[in-house]
Amino acid sequence: MPYRKFFAVTLLVGILIGALIACSSPSAPPATSAPAATSAPAATNAPPPSGGKSVVNFYTDGDTNISDWIANKVKPAFEKAYPQYELKVTTVRGVGNGVADIAARAQAAMQTGADPQAEVFDWDPRGRPEYIQAGVFEKLSPANVPNAKNVPEAYYLSEYGMPYRGSQVLLAYDSSKIPDNEVPKTFADLVTWVKAHPGQFVYCRPDKGGSGGNFVVRALYEVTGKDPKIFQSADPDPKILAEFPKAWELLRSMHDSIYQNGSYPAGNNPVLELLANGSVSMATVWSDQSRQALDKGVLPPTIKVVQFTDLPMPGSYAPLSVVAGAKNKQGALDFVNFMLSVEEQTSVVKDIGGFPAIEWKYLPQDLQTQFTSVITNNVPYWPGGKWSTERDKGWYENVATNIKQGSP
Amino acid sequence: MTRPYNRKKIFMATARALTAQPAPPAAAKRRDLSGLFGYVLIAPPVAIMLLLIFYPAIEAVIETIFVSDAQTGQTTLSLQNYIAFFQDPILRANLTFTVLVTLATVFMLFVVGYPLAMYLRFSKSRLAGTVQVLTLFPLFVPGVILAFALIRFLGTHGMFDTLLGIVGISGYRTPYLQPQGIVIALVWEHIPFTVLVLTAGLRQVEDAVIESARDVGASGWQIFTRILLPLTTRSALIVFCLNVIGVFGAFTLPYLLGPAQPMMMGVSMQQAFNNYQDRIGALTQAVLTFLICAAVGVLYVRTITRPRER
């Protein structure tokens, strides 16, 4: 039947074209990450390498930018500085629950007294307090990690995680369209600027990306006396929640002046897209994502970033954690210490566009000059959880819509 | 309905006389055994449907209509969750929005699909093959890729905007992050299915029927409204039902291309469940969505089980 043959050919052509699109699409990182993830378990079971080197097993489920950086830049540098160690980098991104599964394995190994085959995690143990209580993780402080003395107190999230890289939400703008003297310095300046330039500013939906979420948080700070510390409790304080409508009013007043009369994209990357193709000339972005987009040429070099000078937007620090029962615990502690060295902290800034976990003043002078517009030792911490639920619900019900909540 | 029906009867009689088909082979002998065997064959899919679709669906309905009091722990039968849904202006807007987007999408699918199907059915040119490939192409493109392509193509300063600029048209407003964006993407995604089913329906209309209509002086428009449309109502109903169900529950494209508010039910459910951790609220929305789709599903089942009007 000619029809059937035709159909088969159509199918084949379609699949080929589909495959072609899938391969050439930039949104196909799983293809590159798969080999790393699958070959990893075999690597950890391999016999100790010759030459008397002891292995430091490192697990991460971070994004490609982090795992690539650790495997290609950090690993060689660490092995050169500490010839007695070999760093085994295992990427468990997208494999089960990621590092949490390896932590479960470490706990099981602890109970039976076996080798957990894991030394360092690129992971925040606070997510699983039961492991902390069970004693799976080592307490980290300047006592066992000397370089930790340079890490500001405020960056610590818990004594079981040592912050080693940070990122913060910044204001990005196109310097070819906005003269430097017009760039907003404070949140109030931004509101005025946006209203004066309708359609030129955008931030993403607060629940779809931190660059939008932390911008909304900054609006919440604005109406609650600019004191991020009042948001520390796990359960939202009704007294503070009562102030939220003022923030909705403030953001709502900008709504019509946002890109396309209030079209908020569904994520961090769509915002970078709009900035890259010139649809908007100002947006809120993550420091590391914008830095990498600039390096790769995704964002034109005319894009510059600044931070509010009155009160910065929130950000967060990623910690390293050490398994208490690790076979090579000294290697693990040496690795954490190494990551906090000036050289590696410089690499955090230069290679992944992150923020250093040690104070900027320890970094090379030229780097400090280059980042002077965004340098701050104040990275407000937003607790998330129920606070974020209140933030998102309030934003959707009062800012993104014309419908007044509660009206019939 | 009677007049075209009679006419159709006449045409069908003519057609049958012209194409004298052999009678279907008798299968009466093996009926007693094959009946039982048939049940065995369909048992696994039916079991899967019962376990994975009906059981969770019924559980969801039960969970939303039996409300337990937090203080006394007593469960009572109440429509409280549904009343709360319809009292919430945001959720009501989401539901209305979903219905409107669905209707607009299905309407556009007919506007685009019928001419394409007619062309594929009646064209004898070599171009028809190419058109068919293009029509089926969306079948092989994953939703995420489609959304990405549309953002690049239709966005501000995208390719479409640039092309308009070349011919001197300015003031283009992108459908990205607007309701139109969802409709465009969903229409594109559902074209292959629509055209396939409509073409199949049109192929059942024998050439002889149309030729005899032409012989008695029917114009092209008359042939379409009096013969092709009535004879393809079945296909059209199938297309309508399955597209409504597919579009109503769409998630990826509305999520990536639609506005922040109002949102389609799929996106709204995901938000209630994930962001607000409101499990019962998400369930209530799911049950309502399910009920609306089920109503359309009943229409579909009636369409395909109704004996052919011959």
Within this chain, domains A31-165+317-364 and A167-315+382-398 share the same CATH topology: yes
Element (H, E) at A316: strand A315-322
Q: Report how far Cα A125 is from the mean position of its chain's Cα atoms.
A: 16
* Residue A46 in this model has a pLDDT that exceeds 80: no
Q: What is the pLDDT of residues A249-296, one digit of tens each?
A: 999 999 999 999 899 998 898 999 999 989 999 999 998 888 888 888
Q: Which residues contact A393 (CB under 8 A, 6 or more apart)?
A: B275, B276
Taking the C-alpha atoms of residue B8 and residue B230, their distance in angstroms, rounded to an integer, is 9
Q: Which residues contact A112 (CB under 8 A, 6 or more apart)?
A: none
Please compute the mean of the pLDDT values over residues B196-221 and round it to a whole number.
Answer: 90
User: Given pLDDT bands bounded at 50, 70 and 90, which one contains residue A39?
Assistant: very low
Q: Which residues contact A159 (CB under 8 A, 6 or more apart)?
A: A139, A140, A141
* Residue A191 in this model has a pLDDT that exceeds 60: yes
Q: Do B148 and A17 touch (CB under 8 A)?
A: no
Report the range of poorest mean pLDDT among A96-100, A333-337, A343-347, B81-85. Answer: A96-100
User: Given pLDDT bands bounded at 50, 70 and 90, which one contains residue A22?
Assistant: very low
Stronger pLDDT, A373 or B45, i.e. the higher one: B45
Taking the C-alpha atoms of residue B27 and residue B171, their distance in angstroms, rounded to an integer, is 67
A372: number of Cβ within 10 Å: 10
Stronger pLDDT, A311 or A373, i.e. the higher one: A311
Q: Which residues contact A261 (CB under 8 A, 6 or more apart)?
A: A199, A255
Contact A203, A187 (CB under 8 A): no
User: Given pLDDT bands bounded at 50, 70 and 90, which one contains residue A9?
Assistant: low
Residue B150's DSSP bridge partners are none
Q: For CA atoms A358, A360, A361, A362, give the dihedral sign.
A: positive
User: Given pLDDT bands bounded at 50, 70 and 90, which one contains residue A246?
Assistant: very high
- At residue B69, the 3 state secondary structure works out as coil
Q: Give the pLDDT confidence score for residue A66 in this predicted structure.
A: 85
Report the range of poorest mean pLDDT among A95-104, A136-145, A288-297. Answer: A95-104
Residue A284's DSSP bridge partners are A171
A261: number of Cβ within 10 Å: 14
Q: Do A274 and B142 touch (CB under 8 A)?
A: no
Q: Give the pLDDT confidence score for residue B74 in this predicted structure.
A: 79
Q: Give the pLDDT confidence score for residue A27 in this predicted structure.
A: 37
Report the range of poorest mean pLDDT among A125-129, A246-250, A348-352. Answer: A125-129
Both tokens of residue A178? 């906005």
Question: Within 13 Å and on the Cβ side, how many CA atoms surround A79?
Answer: 15
Q: Give the pLDDT confidence score for residue B1 in this predicted structure.
A: 38
Q: For CA atoms A322, A323, A325, A331, give the dihedral sign.
A: negative
Q: Do B90 and A401 touch (CB under 8 A)?
A: yes
Q: What is the pLDDT of residues B121-169, one digit of tens each?
A: 988 888 988 999 999 999 999 989 999 999 989 988 889 998 998 998 8
Q: What is the identity of the amino acid at A1? A: M
* Residue B94 in this model has a pLDDT that exceeds 70: yes
Please compute the mean of the pLDDT values over residues B23-30 and round it to a whole number.
Answer: 50
- At residue B76, the 3 state secondary structure works out as strand
B91-305 is classed in which CATH architecture? Orthogonal Bundle (1.10)
Taking the C-alpha atoms of residue B260 and residue B272, their distance in angstroms, rounded to an integer, is 14
Please compute the mean of the pLDDT values over residues A283-310 and round it to a whole number.
Answer: 90
Question: Within 13 Å and on the Cβ side, how many CA atoms surround B49?
Answer: 5
Which of B90, B133, B271 shows the shortest C-beta gap to A405?
A: B90
Q: Give the pLDDT confidence score for residue A38 in this predicted structure.
A: 35
Q: Do B155 and A10 touch (CB under 8 A)?
A: no
Report the range of poorest mean pLDDT among A63-67, B144-148, B228-232. Answer: A63-67
Taking the C-alpha atoms of residue B263 and residue A319, their distance in angstroms, rounded to an integer, is 36
- Show residues of chain B in contact with A396, CB under 8 Å: 90, 260-261, 271
Both tokens of residue B258? 């639609």
Which of A15, A265, A392 shows the shortest C-beta gap to B275?
A: A392
Q: Give the pLDDT confidence score for residue A1 in this predicted structure.
A: 44
* Residue A320 in this model has a pLDDT that exceeds 90: yes
* Residue A403 in this model has a pLDDT that exceeds 80: no
Supply the mean pLDDT for chain B: 86
Q: Give the pLDDT confidence score for residue A296 in this predicted structure.
A: 86
Please compute the mean of the pLDDT values over residues B232-246 and round it to a whole number.
Answer: 93
- At residue B86, the 3 state secondary structure works out as helix
Chain A, window 16-45: residues with a beta carbon less than 8 angstroms from a chain B beta carbon: 17-18, 21-22, 25, 27
Element (H, E) at A84: none
Q: Do A6 and B132 touch (CB under 8 A)?
A: yes
Please compute the mean of the pLDDT values over residues A283-311 and round it to a whole number.
Answer: 90
Both tokens of residue B278? 């409101």
Contact B240, B43 (CB under 8 A): no
Both tokens of residue A200? 């030129």
φ, ψ for residue B37 (rounded to 5)? -60, -40
* Residue A396 in this model has a pLDDT that exceeds 60: yes
Where are chain A's structural domains? 31-165+317-364, 167-315+382-398
Q: Give the pLDDT confidence score for residue A19 in this predicted structure.
A: 45
Which of A260, A266, A274 shows the shortest C-beta gap to B256?
A: A266
Which of B136, B255, B259 shows the shortest C-beta gap to A10?
A: B136
- At residue B305, the 3 state secondary structure works out as helix
Q: Give the pLDDT confidence score for residue B17 in this predicted structure.
A: 44
- What counts of helices (H) and strands (E) characterise chain A? 17, 9
- What burial class does residue B257 get, using C-beta atoms within 10 Å of its C-beta: 0-12 exposed, 13-18 middle, 19+ buried? buried
Q: Percent of chain B having pLDDT more than 70?
A: 88
Q: Give the pLDDT confidence score for residue A377 in this predicted structure.
A: 74
Both tokens of residue B6? 């009679």
Residue of A nearest to B161 (CA): A279
Taking the C-alpha atoms of residue A171 and residue A375, their distance in angstroms, rounded to an integer, is 13
Give the residue from B135, B261, B264 with the most A CB atoms within 10 Å of its CB, the best one to mutate.
B261
Where are chain B's structural domains? 34-78, 91-305
Residue A87's DSSP bridge partners are A56
Report the range of poorest mean pLDDT among A177-186, A260-269, B66-75, B298-307. Answer: B66-75
A68: number of Cβ within 10 Å: 19
B86: number of Cβ within 10 Å: 13
Q: Does A370 touch chain B (CB under 8 A)?
A: no
Please compute the mean of the pLDDT values over residues B54-82 and round it to a whole number.
Answer: 85
B238: number of Cβ within 10 Å: 21
Q: Do B137 and A14 touch (CB under 8 A)?
A: yes
Both tokens of residue A274? 């709009």
Contact B173, B229 (CB under 8 A): no
Q: Do A17 and B276 touch (CB under 8 A)?
A: no
A31-165+317-364 is classed in which CATH architecture? 3-Layer(aba) Sandwich (3.40)
Asked if the ipTM is above 0.85, the reply is no
Give the residue from B156, B252, B264, B267 with the most A CB atoms within 10 Å of its CB, the best one to mutate.
B156
DSSP B205: S
Which of B93, B136, B145 shows the shortest C-beta gap to A14?
A: B136
Cα–Cα distances (Å) from A368 to A185, A278, A349, A372, B114, in that order, read 19, 29, 10, 6, 65
* Residue B19 in this model has a pLDDT that exceeds 50: no
Contact A276, A152 (CB under 8 A): no
Contact A170, A251 (CB under 8 A): no
User: Given pLDDT bands bounded at 50, 70 and 90, which one contains residue B308?
Assistant: low
A212: number of Cβ within 10 Å: 28
Element (H, E) at A67: helix A64-69
Q: Give the pLDDT confidence score for residue A95 in this predicted structure.
A: 75
A167-315+382-398 is classed in which CATH architecture? 3-Layer(aba) Sandwich (3.40)
Cα–Cα distances (Å) from B71 to A139, A400, B30, B65, B68, in that order, read 42, 36, 63, 18, 9
Q: Percent of chain B having pLDDT more than 90?
A: 51
